[in-house]
């Protein structure tokens, strides 16, 4: 028989899909200490299975040694959760070092916890409803929905919500967060946590924020699942023509035995950040791209006979999608697969070289080449490892490259592989390392007619386009706005290959080259122009952050311009905190640059502060620095007053496309004219690529107007434009009138969906004049939205999902803080206490003009009151609560007329009042009444007076204990309470088994009341 429950529809489906890919299944209720599966409920490693597995993988282990291994894995000792998790991951992937005595000899061996080479040599098990004892509290438990074990180790945890529930995958994520606090020992070992409501499925690491949870798309490759958009943000998935759910794809793609073992071994990374570590795990496009690149690399290195045979290919993963991390995953994996080859990473800028080396520097085999000679010596003498170098060390025109080595196991990995300099690089490298293989990475699209990139590196290995990244929520869209058009200098640079000539040169040489463009710089330095732009930046940014919190970057043509603009901005009242980020030397540069030239430590501190949304500066001015490879997720606006084209432009603007909380997009403000003719600025790319990369803000404004028309049409005939000038009573009538127009769940759902979309468009378009015109209307719509949430006793799944993606973290406080007017002014009442509802009050509710609103208001009041009371006294109020739920279900699906609903609600309200009054007439407090009702239901006492006396005595005797802080978490206090309760009840109950049952029930009731 089928059931509409979370267990049946989502959990059972997941179990069946795991079974299909070869996992064993056991119900969590069987994985108990009593069944010898683990030592206690607080322990999460299945000891018996773990010991069996490690003995099988490591035949030298006897029972005692296996027990010692178990203890080491179980008792990882460190106060920091991330460090403990990292230590376990090292045990898992590198093996655990075990020293033991064999006779008189002391031996040290590495114990493997998982057989990564032979996945089938491991035990794969899933268990649902796995009960885990809380870490800090005795006799308290949490039960995750599904746990995945490999060799008895809990490597993944799932939380589910039902298809029919009004809760979503994000609610399941919050369940994880709660459980992480209560049972951290489970999440310590879990490399992956997943959430699903049957429709939406996401996965991440246990420490990831919600915005870093992603979909998994692909069963065996990143392109074998077809994704079909059925409406904005909603998708269907097809594999080999068969429709699959997102949960089935995650299980059959990521958790396939050979995939999950590979993922654990090669696609988890603890990145050092200051004194801490950040745990990062691969997205599906990174996993599959690296797998493909590894297979191609092995073929090139082991079988390639000509330079053409040794071209691995190009990985194009758009900016913001984790290209550097993909490079790291590739490097770690290929070093293992090919037995320590030599990898040479090439970048075209010193800054990029530093950034990439910083990421890889946790690997001791990484080395940065200091000079051409150092590079040549390292290549000649290094057996294996990773070398980092800039392209300039290979591209010197006068440098003759001798043959350095004829080894085949050398792989050259070029970052931003479309650069023209790589053609020269390839020629030089082919002379120096004739048998090397070539792999290219790029974050910008390969240029329209650029075959040279493919000739050097080979055909594409993996493409993760801007469009895919936007659909997956890996990046946010970028919009552009032209401002102060009369100051644009488009004709001065648009046809010049300005950046292409200068790219790749050292900053000092670049500065020399810029002198040739002195005319353009002089035009930009015009004091009147500088002053206008400074004023506009301050005005625009200040208005923007009123509506949408975040930071900004200003890009200018030269350091001199940077200093002049900085000085002009600093003079303006209310200017945001601002700094200049430039390189230079206090010995060589003009004195006006000196305050802005920093040493390495000072620069690191400034950049860390800029990355932190809560610290100053709010804005930085840059020339070349930070325009590639620098991530500031809270950066949402870039002001450009520098000529840029093609990949340089695409790389720079991508600084604003990073995901951050509910940031809906990034904005490029153009002061020089790059956007006046995007086809020329991005001349080397297809029109489709250009449109995906940058969207005109005017399109957003038009979309905002369209969406505003849709939202306002819900209230056709309601005059809300003048709402700010109304009295509280008039505003009450207006908001209720507007609310009443959304009489059905469908209308409420559609209103909320369209209003949330309007809010996002409003934030993106701010501070355009068109946004100011509708700001007050948005405040009114916000009040109506809050009324829907406030007065609904249930929230539909669609509404819940829309609210989940609402901008409420960053968007304007001036909009989101507006509260709906209290409706009781409509009937000239103070907000009533339901326990003293009068006939007059209920009659006024009955006679209200707005029937739908009257129903939801009264239902909300009753529901809120019963919910509080039923928690403390189930015996008295549960039946009323069930009746209310049943009535509202029928109302929501139109099985009962509006007038009948009001009548039945009034009946429930009256019965609720009677039950409350009855309790007071018994001369019992609420606490005493709860014990009275519970004992009365047991039916073991002769008369009600006797029950009253016992209920009073229980409440009085418990009084001392329940005042002790955290009494319910202290087993010693609870033991004393049990003894006290037995002393009270033994006078009346002779059956000791029954006595224990009653005592435990009273204790549970006491926790509900007092804890």
Q: Are residues 637 and 519 in the same domain?
A: yes
Would you call 623 helix, strand, or coil by DSSP? coil
Q: DSSP label at 950?
A: H
Average pLDDT, integer, range 387-400: 69
Asked if the structure places residue 805 within a domain, the reply is no
Nearest alpha-carbon partner for 128 in 5, 216, 214, 1: 5
Would the pLDDT of 234 be above 80? no
Asked if the structure places residue 242 within a domain, the reply is no
Would the pLDDT of 850 be above 70? no
Domain count, the chain: 6
d(CA 15, CA 628): 44
pLDDT given for residue 175 in this prediction:
93
Q: Are residues 324 and 379 in the same domain?
A: yes
Average pLDDT, integer, range 364-388: 83
Strand partners, 387: 344, 367
Pull the structure tokens for residue 659.
Answer: 């995901």
Average pLDDT, integer, range 571-579: 95
Would the pLDDT of 118 be above 80? yes
Would you call 438 helix, strand, or coil by DSSP? strand
Would the pLDDT of 821 be above 60? no
Q: DSSP label at 475?
A: B
Q: Are residues 987 and 874 in the same domain?
A: no
Q: What is the pLDDT of residues 41-53, one digit of tens each?
A: 999 999 999 999 9
pLDDT given for residue 5 in this prediction:
43
pLDDT given for residue 164 in this prediction:
63
Average pLDDT, integer, range 404-429: 77
Residue 617 in contact with residue 578, Cβ under 8 Å?
Answer: yes
Q: What is the pLDDT of residues 453-463, one digit of tens each?
A: 677 788 889 98
Average pLDDT, integer, range 802-821: 50
Q: DSSP label at 431?
A: H
Strand partners, 142: 132
pLDDT given for residue 333 in this prediction:
95
Q: Are residues 166 and 151 in the same domain?
A: yes
d(CA 499, CA 643): 8
Q: Are residues 179 and 31 in the same domain?
A: yes
pLDDT given for residue 105 in this prediction:
85
CATH assignment of the domain containing 368? 3.40.50.300
Pull the structure tokens for residue 438.
Answer: 């070539």
Q: Are residues 760 and 635 in the same domain?
A: no
pLDDT given for residue 847 in this prediction:
67
Average pLDDT, integer, range 495-500: 48
Q: Are residues 917 and 941 in the same domain?
A: no
d(CA 65, CA 73): 13
Would the pLDDT of 1 be above 50? no
Angle between helices 874-892 and 851-872 (to 10 degrees): 150
Confidence of residue 888 (pLDDT cuts 50, 70, 90): confident
Would the pLDDT of 7 be above 60? no
Q: Are residues 946 and 905 in the same domain?
A: no
Nearest alpha-carbon partner for 633 in 476, 466, 765, 467: 476
d(CA 265, CA 268): 7
Could you identify the residue written with the tokens 């509280």?
Answer: 728
pLDDT given for residue 897 in this prediction:
75
Rg of the chain over all Cα atoms, to the nearest angstrom? 34
Give Cα separations from 467 to 214, 319, 444, 610, 704 (angstroms): 15, 12, 13, 29, 22
Asked if the structure places residue 137 within a domain, the reply is yes
Domain final position from 464, 488, 506: 464
Q: DSSP label at 593?
A: G
pLDDT given for residue 439 in this prediction:
93
Strand partners, 203: 194, 214
pLDDT given for residue 515 in this prediction:
56
> How would you class 893 by CB atoms within 10 Å of its CB: exposed for 0-12, middle for 13-18, buried for 19 or more?
exposed
Would the pLDDT of 898 be above 80? no
Q: What is the pLDDT of residues 318-353, one digit of tens each?
A: 888 888 999 999 999 999 999 889 999 988 777 777
Confidence of residue 684 (pLDDT cuts 50, 70, 90): low
Beta strands (DSSP E) in 694-824 are 695-696
pLDDT given for residue 420 in this prediction:
56
Pull the structure tokens for residue 238.
Answer: 């097809």
Strand partners, 111: 96
> How would you class 374 by CB atoms within 10 Å of its CB: exposed for 0-12, middle for 13-18, buried for 19 or more?
middle
Residue 669 in contact with residue 652, Cβ under 8 Å?
Answer: no
Q: Are residues 53 and 199 in the same domain?
A: yes
Question: Read out DSSP for 825-839?
Answer: GGGT-PPPPGGG--H
Q: Are residues 298 and 426 in the same domain?
A: yes
Nearest alpha-carbon partner for 199 in 169, 156, 231: 169
Could you identify the residue written with the tokens 């003048």?
Answer: 722
pLDDT given for residue 694 in this prediction:
78
Average pLDDT, integer, range 410-430: 74
Would the pLDDT of 161 be above 50? yes
Q: What is the pLDDT of residues 739-756, one digit of tens each?
A: 888 877 788 888 988 888
Average pLDDT, integer, range 233-259: 93
pLDDT given for residue 942 in this prediction:
66
Nearest alpha-carbon partner for 873 in 940, 939, 918: 918
Q: Give the residue numbers spanning the domain of 971.
A: 926-1010
Q: Are residues 596 and 630 in the same domain?
A: yes
Minimum mean pLDDT range among 297-306, 493-502, 780-789, 937-946: 493-502
pLDDT given for residue 862 in this prediction:
79
* Alpha helix stretches (DSSP H) within 465-526: 466-472, 490-493, 498-502, 507-514, 518-524
Residue 937 dihedral angles phi and psi, to the nearest 5°: -65, -25
Confidence of residue 855 (pLDDT cuts 50, 70, 90): confident
Average pLDDT, integer, range 881-906: 77
CA 845 to chain centre: 44
pLDDT given for residue 993 in this prediction:
67
CB atoms within 10 A of CB 375: 22
Between 181 and 836, residue with greater pLDDT: 181
Pull the structure tokens for residue 504.
Answer: 């790749």
Would the pLDDT of 501 be above 60? no
Pair type for strands 551-556 and 635-641: parallel
Asked if the structure places residue 794 within a domain, the reply is no
Residue 887 dihedral angles phi and psi, to the nearest 5°: -60, -45
Domain final position from 655, 685, 715: 685
Pair type for strands 276-281 and 437-442: unpaired
Average pLDDT, integer, range 609-614: 92
Question: Read out DSSP for 666-731?
Answer: EEEEESSSTTTTHHHHTTTS-HHHHHHH-EEHHHHHHHHHHHHHHHHHTTTT---TTGGGS-HHHH
Asked if the structure places residue 446 within a domain, the reply is yes
Residue 489 in contact with residue 673, Cβ under 8 Å?
Answer: yes
Average pLDDT, integer, range 753-762: 87
Would the pLDDT of 837 be above 60? no
Would the pLDDT of 56 be above 90? yes
Q: Are residues 588 and 681 in the same domain?
A: yes
pLDDT given for residue 872 in this prediction:
81
Average pLDDT, integer, range 579-606: 91
Would the pLDDT of 1009 be above 50? yes
Q: What is the pLDDT of residues 523-573, one digit of tens each?
A: 888 899 999 999 999 999 998 888 778 999 999 998 999 999 999 999 999
Highest mean pLDDT of the ranges 122-126, 697-701, 895-899, 979-983:
122-126
pLDDT given for residue 48 in this prediction:
95
Asked if the structure places residue 801 within a domain, the reply is no
Mean pLDDT of the chain: 83
Could you identify the residue written with the tokens 């299944």?
Answer: 25
Assign 3-state DSSP to the chain and report helix, strand, coil percentages, each to 5. Answer: 50, 15, 35
Asked if the structure places residue 849 within a domain, the reply is yes
Residue 672 in contact with residue 490, Cβ under 8 Å?
Answer: yes
Q: What is the pLDDT of residues 173-232, one digit of tens each?
A: 999 999 999 999 999 999 999 999 888 899 999 999 888 899 999 999 999 999 888 876
d(CA 932, CA 951): 5
Asked if the structure places residue 451 within a domain, the reply is yes
Between 389 and 62, residue with greater pLDDT: 62
d(CA 128, CA 158): 9
CA 111 to chain centre: 35
Between 529 and 431, residue with greater pLDDT: 529
Pull the structure tokens for residue 259.
Answer: 């995939």
pLDDT given for residue 73 in this prediction:
96
Is the pTM for the entire model greater than 0.85?
A: no
Would the pLDDT of 25 be above 90? yes
Give Cα separations from 202 to 209, 246, 901, 935 (angstroms): 12, 8, 40, 47
Domain final position from 440, 464, 488: 464
Between 558 and 507, residue with greater pLDDT: 558
Between 408 and 454, residue with greater pLDDT: 408
Residue 655 in contact with residue 553, Cβ under 8 Å?
Answer: yes
pLDDT given for residue 3 in this prediction:
35
d(CA 320, CA 443): 8
Average pLDDT, integer, range 382-393: 82
pLDDT given for residue 193 in this prediction:
97
pLDDT given for residue 827 in this prediction:
45
């Amino acid at each position: 028989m089928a059931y509409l429950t979370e267990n049946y529809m989502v959990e059972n489906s997941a179990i069946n899909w795991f079974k299909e890919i070869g996992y064993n299944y056991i119900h969590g209720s069987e994985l108990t200490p009593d069944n010898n599966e683990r030592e206690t409920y607080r322990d999460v490693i299945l000891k018996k299975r773990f010991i069996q597995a490690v003995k099988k993988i490591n035949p030298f282990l006897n029972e005692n040694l296996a027990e010692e291994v178990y203890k080491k894995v179980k008792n990882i000792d460190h106060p920091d959760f991330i460090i403990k998790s990292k230590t376990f991951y090292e045990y898992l992937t590198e093996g655990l070092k075990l020293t033991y005595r064999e006779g008189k000899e002391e031996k040290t061996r590495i114990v493997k916890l998982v057989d990564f080479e032979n996945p089938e040599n491991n035990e794969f098990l899933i268990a649902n409803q796995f009960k885990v004892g809380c870490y800090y509290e005795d006799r308290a438990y949490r039960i995750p929905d599904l746990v995945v074990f490999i060799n008895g180790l809990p490597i993944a945890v799932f939380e589910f919500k039902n298809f029919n529930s009004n809760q979503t995958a994000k609610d399941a994520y919050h369940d994880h967060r709660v459980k992480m606090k209560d049972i951290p020992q489970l999440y310590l070992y879990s490399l992956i946590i997943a959430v699903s409501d049957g429709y939406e499925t996401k996965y991440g690491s246990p420490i990831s924020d919600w915005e870093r949870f992603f979909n998994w798309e692909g069963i065996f490759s990143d392109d074998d699942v077809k994704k079909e958009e059925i409406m904005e943000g909603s998708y269907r998935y097809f594999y080999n023509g068969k429709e699959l759910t997102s949960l089935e794809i995650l299980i059959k793609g990521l958790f396939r035995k050979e995939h999950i073992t590979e993922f654990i071994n090669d696609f988890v990374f603890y990145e050092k950040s200051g004194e801490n570590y950040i745990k990062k795990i691969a997205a599906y496009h990174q996993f599959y791209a690296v797998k493909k690149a590894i297979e191609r690399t092995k073929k090139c290195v082991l079988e390639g006979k000509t330079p053409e045979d040794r071209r691995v290919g190009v990985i194009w993963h758009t900016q913001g999608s984790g290209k550097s991390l993909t490079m790291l995953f590739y490097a770690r994996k290929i070093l293992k697969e090919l037995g320590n080859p030599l990898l040479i990473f090439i970048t075209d800028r010193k800054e990029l070289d530093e950034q990439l080396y910083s990421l890889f520097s946790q690997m001791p085999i990484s080395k940065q080449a200091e000079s051409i000679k150092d590079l040549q010596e390292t290549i000649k003498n290094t057996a294996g490892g990773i070398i980092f170098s800039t392209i300039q060390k290979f591209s010197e025109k006068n440098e003759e490259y001798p043959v350095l080595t004829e080894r085949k196991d050398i792989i050259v990995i070029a970052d931003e592989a479309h650069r023209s300099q790589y053609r020269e690089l390839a020629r030089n490298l082919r002379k120096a390392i004739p048998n090397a293989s070539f792999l290219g990475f790029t974050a910008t699209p390969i240029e329209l007619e650029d075959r040279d990139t493919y000739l050097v590196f080979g055909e594409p290995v993996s493409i993760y386009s801007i469009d895919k990244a936007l659909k997956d929520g890996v990046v946010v869209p970028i919009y552009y706005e032209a401002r102060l058009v009369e100051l644009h200098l488009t004709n001065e640079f648009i046809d010049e290959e300005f950046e292409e000539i200068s790219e790749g040169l050292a900053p000092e040489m670049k500065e020399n080259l810029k002198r040739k463009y002195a005319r353009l710089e002089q035009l930009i330095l015009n004091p009147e122009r500088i002053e206008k732009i400074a004023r506009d930046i301050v005005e625009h940014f200040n208005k923007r952050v009123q509506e949408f919190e975040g930071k900004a970057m200003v890009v200018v043509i030269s350091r001199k311009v940077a200093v002049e603009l900085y000085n002009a901005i600093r003079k303006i009242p209310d200017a945001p905190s601002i700094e200049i980020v430039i390189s230079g030397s206090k010995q060589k540069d003009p004195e006006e640059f000196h305050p802005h030239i920093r040493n390495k430590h000072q620069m690191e501190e400034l950049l860390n502060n800029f990355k932190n949304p809560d610290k100053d500066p709010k804005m930085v001015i840059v020339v070349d620095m930070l325009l590639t490879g620098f991530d500031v997720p809270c950066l949402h606006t870039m002001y450009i007053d520098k000529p840029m084209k093609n990949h340089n432009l695409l790389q720079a603007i991508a600084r604003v496309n990073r995901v951050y909380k509910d940031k809906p997009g990034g904005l490029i403000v153009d002061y020089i004219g790059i956007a006046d003719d995007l086809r020329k600025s991005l001349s080397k790319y297809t029109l489709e690529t250009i449109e995906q990369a940058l969207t005109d803000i005017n399109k957003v404004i038009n979309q905002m107007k369209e969406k505003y028309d849709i939202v306002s049409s819900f209230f056709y005939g309601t005059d809300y434009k003048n709402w700010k000038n109304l009295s509280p009573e008039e505003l009450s009538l207006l908001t209720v009138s507007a609310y009443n127009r959304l009489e059905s769940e469908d209308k409420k759902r559609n209103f909320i969906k369209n209003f949330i979309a309007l809010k996002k468009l409003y934030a993106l378009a701010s501070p355009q004049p068109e946004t100011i015109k509708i700001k007050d209307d948005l405040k009114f719509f916000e009040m109506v939205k809050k009324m829907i949430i406030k007065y609904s006793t249930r929230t539909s799944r669609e509404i819940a999902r829309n609210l989940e993606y609402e901008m409420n973290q960053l968007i304007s406080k001036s909009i989101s803080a507006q509260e709906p007017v209290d409706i009781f002014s409509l009937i000239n009442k103070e907000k009533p206490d339901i326990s003293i509802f009068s006939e007059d009050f209920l009659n006024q509710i009955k006679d209200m003009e707005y029937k739908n609103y009257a129903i939801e208001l009264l239902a909300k009041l009753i529901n809120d009151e019963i919910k509080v009371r039923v928690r403390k006294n189930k015996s008295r109020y549960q039946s009323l609560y069930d009746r209310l739920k049943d009535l509202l279900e029928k109302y929501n699906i139109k099985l009962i007329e509006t007038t009948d609903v009001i009548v039945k609600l009034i009946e429930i309200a009256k019965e609720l009042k009677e039950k409350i009054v009855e309790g007071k007439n018994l001369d019992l407090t609420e606490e005493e009444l709860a014990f009275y009702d519970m004992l009365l239901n047991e039916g073991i006492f002769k008369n009600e007076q006797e029950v009253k006396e016992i209920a009073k005595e229980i409440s009085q005797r418990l009084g001392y204990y329940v005042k002790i802080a955290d009494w319910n978490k202290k087993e010693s206090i609870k033991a004393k309470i049990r003894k006290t309760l037995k002393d009270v009840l033994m006078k009346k109950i002779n059956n000791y088994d029954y006595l224990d049952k009653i005592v435990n029930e009273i204790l549970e009731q006491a926790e509900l009341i007092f804890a």
